[in-house]
Amino acid sequence: MPFLRRNVIKSFRAMCVECGIPTAASQESQKYPPIFSVTYSHHDGQRHDAKVDSWHCPLCHIFNGFSTQKMLEAHLEWDHEECDFVWNKKLFRGIEIPHLIINVPQDPGSSSEELSSSSESERETTAPPQSPIFLNRSPSPEQKPFLRASSMNVVVKEQSPPSSPLRPSQAPPPSRRPERPVDRTGQNRYPTPPPYENLEGPSAVYPYLPPGEYSARPGGPKLYDLLNTLSMEPFGVMKWFVLDKEEEIFELCDVRDEDKVMQALWARWIILNRNKFISNYFLGVQAFITQYWREIHKAAGFSALRVWLLVLVSNRFLTGPQFFDILKYYTDQTGMDLWK
């Protein structure tokens, strides 16, 4: 039931008290258990008799039993309006006991089925014989002039097949970016900066994925599809759990793709480094940035990282100075101060 039975019983008893129906059995009736007989009278003339040794409803099992006959009568009147009831007296072992006659109505579903079956049989008996229909598989243009383009002055143009959203027909024009910073040691330490349109956003642009890889998503590739390029070997048999958790994150509504990337990267890191994070929150977050700062730069960006760190600050995992130290550590890794 879509409700608690105890609440139904309590509300029914309160309604009986409000209507003046006795809810407590008399002392004489408590000496002997109540007995009454029930006769089910169906619409087709069939009858069925039964004996009940307490004031139970003979039609439902919602209530465990009633204290008085008046409560049972009220329940039948309020909750079983589809049936008619008549109370009489009947002899049972030389004693008069209450006798309840229930007139069970006809099932509306059965009547509709009988009507539909009878109507179908009438159609079968009264339907006139139909002549066979012959189909011409190759009609000539004269027989179907409405199919001829010349009669309607229709100009047929050849259309190219629609391009698949999974593979873009042409690459978007390259975005203007700051020059890649050059490290003094001569190594390619710093990654490619993001476009000028959003310097705090991800450096990857549509179609995001490297050449030769495509997304199977109906709406085309997303930023979080870049996570599929990472190795799942460290997770071993827990690979299925990580992928299932990420799909739940990717299906979130009203969340930016950049924030979904941050949540997915953190979920990957925390599953293997929970003890490291609990031992020291600041060093744990710094280790997270050390491992995934390239992916954050490529698929999330500085603004998504800042939002994620603010979540940690609001939950008191980081303090204000530690928040700025982590951001400074990330900018040193990506060379943001050198973008011009």
264, part of any domain: yes
Plot region of 94 (φ>0 → left; ψ -120 to 50 → alpha; else → beta): left
The tally of domains found in the chain comes to: 2
The reported pLDDT for the residue numbered 201 is 84
- Show the 3-state SS of 95-158: EEEEEEEEEECCCHHHHHHHHHHHHHHHHHHHCCCCCCCCCCCCCCCCCCHHHCHHHHCCCCCC
Beta strand 95-104 pairing with 36-42: parallel
122, part of any domain: no
Residue 50 to residue 100: CA distance in whole angstroms: 10
Domain end (from 61, 83, 104): 104
Structural domain boundaries enclosing 85: 5-104
Q: Give the pLDDT of the chain (340 residues) as one tens digit per residue.
A: 445 777 788 888 888 888 888 888 776 555 555 677 777 777 677 777 777 777 778 778 778 778 787 888 888 888 887 778 787 777 776 677 787 777 777 665 544 444 455 555 555 444 454 544 444 444 444 444 433 334 344 444 445 445 444 454 455 566 676 667 666 665 667 777 788 788 888 878 787 777 777 777 777 788 778 888 888 898 888 888 888 888 888 888 888 888 999 999 999 999 999 999 999 999 999 999 999 988 898 888 899 999 999 999 999 999 999 999 999 999 888 888 777 5
90 plus 216 within the same structural domain: no
SS3 60: coil
190, part of any domain: no
Evaluate the CA torsion angle 291, 293, 298, 303 in order and state its sign: positive
Task: Please report, in angstroms and rounded to a whole number, the separation of the first and last CA atoms in the chain.
Answer: 67
Q: What are the φ/ψ torsions at residue 96 (nearest 5 degrees)? A: -80, 125
Residue 270 to residue 285: CA distance in whole angstroms: 10
Domain end (from 79, 104, 129): 104
208 plus 320 within the same structural domain: yes
Tokens of 76: 């039948």
189, part of any domain: no
296 C-beta neighbours (distance < 10 Å), count: 24
54, part of any domain: yes
Count of alpha carbons within 13 Å of 292, Cβ hemisphere only? 24
86 plus 201 within the same structural domain: no
Q: Which residues contact 300 (CB under 8 A, 6 or more apart)?
A: 202, 223, 258, 259, 261, 262, 265
284, part of any domain: yes
Residue 66 to residue 23: CA distance in whole angstroms: 8
Domain end (from 104, 139, 164): 104
Q: What are the φ/ψ torsions at residue 339 (nearest 5 degrees)? A: -75, 135
Residue 111 to residue 131: CA distance in whole angstroms: 35
245, part of any domain: yes
131, part of any domain: no
